[in-house]
Amino acid sequence: MDLLIGTSNKGKLEEFQMMLGSLPVHLLGLKDVGLGDMDVAEDAGTLEGNAELKVRAYSKASGLVTLADDTGLEIDALGGEPGIYPARYGGSHLTMADRRQKVLSQLVDVPDEQRAARFICVIALADPRTDELITVRGICPGRIAQAEDTSGGGFGYDPVFIPEGYDRTFSSLPPEEKNRISHRGRASQLLLESLSRLAAASG
């Protein structure tokens, strides 16, 4: 069975390729199916709603079984910001590096015990043949680091996020370790059974 990974975020795509690589499915990215330039408005107001908007648009356009995720980042000391729109935090003119610096600069002098944060990932899986739609949610608790990790691993907010039970950021963890404990990894584990069932049904 072909499975389209509906994301334009390269970091997410690589993680899904690693996590789902052992399933009996043929993974495709948006570029592989000529949808590399397709933009979907994410205006549902919830992670579930936005994941559904993305997955429905991409599965309809491709005709393929598709998954898409929407990820939020809640930082308690910032009143829950960036919330469901971390990709837009601080405005559209900012780079991801600017966004990370903005988070850090707002937390100067805030002690570790008050830097609690969590990633939340909702993955939606859609089968255009049956209109079946499944959503799953994975949460990874942790805290915001005191400074940016410059080791270069990961993507997005990985250089400033330390998962609970660790003393280093997602950037410094081997990818398989991040995938084992992350929001996206936890949500993906909840989808494995449904994906195997769909793949078996496809023959």
Between 163 and 202, how does the x/- string for binding to ligand ITT read (CB under 6 A)?
-------x-----------x-x------------------
User: Is residue 70 annotated as part of the catalytic site, yes or no?
Assistant: yes
Please give the Cα distance from 116 to 77 (Å, whole number). 7
Question: How many other β-carbons are positioned within 10 Å of the β-carbon of residue 187?
Answer: 25
Give the SS3 label for residue 38: coil
Residue 177 Cα distances to 18, 58, 73, 102, angstroms: 11, 29, 20, 27
Judged by CB under 6 A, which of 70, 74, 127, 149 binds ligand ITT? 70
Residue closer to ligand ITT, measured from CB, 35 or 195: 35
Kindly give, in sequence order, each residue whose CB lies less than 8 Å from that of residue 74, ignoring residues fewer than 6 positions away.
80, 81, 83, 117, 118, 120
Shortest Å distance, C-beta 59 to ligand ITT: 14
Size of residue set near ligand ITT by CB under 6 A: 18
Residue closer to ligand ITT, measured from CB, 190 or 202: 190
Catalytic: which of 70, 127, 149, 158? 70
Are residues 3 and 27 in contact, defined by beta-carbon separation less than 8 angstroms?
Answer: yes
Residue closer to ligand ITT, measured from CB, 177 or 202: 177
What residues act catalytically?
70
